[in-house]
């Protein structure tokens, strides 16, 4: 196992840019798919769902302020997960040597932990559990979060 220690500024920059990229891309993906493919939520409601983890059902009556809170909460979670990936990449160089593979694996891991451990601790409803919904959330976490986080980490670390 090859360990390397980038300068702290590079580590922080990689974590912030990876987290921002992942948060924006997964929110955009989920907003588009829910609004225009599944027709079950507006982009506003997608962000309100994130806020509902702390506000409960009241988030859906909270308009743009609740959606803004939801985006900030989701951004914080994305920054956390991205920072974990960047840290792991300093310990396991393979993560940046093969960013597509390990980004996809990481996206699935993040989805499983969020869906089955973190979200149940909050006030949000788990969401649809149909095969199409599970495939959609899996694609979101792999293509719009895990792989972009790995690619940004590779580029900036």
CB 19 within 8 A of CB 152: no
Give the whole-angstrom CA distance, residue 116 versus residue 93. Answer: 29
The model's pTM: 0.93
CA atoms within 13 A on the CB side of 82: 33
DSSP string, 60-94: GGSHHHHHHHHHHHHHHHHHHHHHHHHHHHHH-TH
User: Is the pLDDT at 21 greater than 70, yes or no?
Assistant: yes
- The mean per-residue pLDDT over the stretch 127-148 comes to 92
25 φ, ψ (degrees, to nearest 5) = -65, -45
User: Is the pLDDT at 105 greater than 80, yes or no?
Assistant: yes
Check residue 2 and give its pLDDT. Answer: 60
pLDDT in tens, 23-76: 999 999 999 999 999 999 999 999 999 999 999 999 999 999 999 999 999 999
CB 104 within 8 A of CB 147: yes
User: Is the pLDDT at 1 greater than 70, yes or no?
Assistant: no
Give the whole-angstrom CA distance, residue 40 versus residue 36. Answer: 9
CB 69 within 8 A of CB 55: yes
User: Residue 12 burial (CB < 10 Å; 0-12/13-18/19+)?
Assistant: middle
The packing angle between helices 147-156 and 99-113, to 10°, is 130
């Amino acid at each position: 196992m090859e360990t390397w220690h980038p300068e702290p500024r590079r580590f922080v920059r990689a974590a912030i840019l990876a987290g921002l990229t992942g948060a924006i891309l997964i929110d955009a993906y989920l907003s588009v798919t829910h609004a225009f493919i599944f027709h079950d939520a507006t982009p506003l409601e997608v962000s309100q769902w994130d806020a509902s983890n702390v506000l409960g059902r009241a988030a859906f009556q909270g308009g743009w302020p609740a959606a803004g809170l939801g985006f900030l909460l989701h951004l914080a979670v994305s920054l956390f997960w991205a920072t974990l990936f960047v840290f792991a990449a300093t310990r396991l160089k393979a993560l940046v040597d093969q960013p597509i593979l390990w980004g996809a694996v990481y996206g699935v891991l993040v989805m499983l932990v969020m869906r089955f451990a973190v979200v149940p601790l909050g006030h949000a409803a788990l969401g649809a559990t149909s095969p199409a919904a599970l495939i959609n959330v899996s694609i979101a976490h792999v293509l719009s979060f895990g792989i972009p986080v790995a690619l940004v980490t590779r580029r900036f670390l």
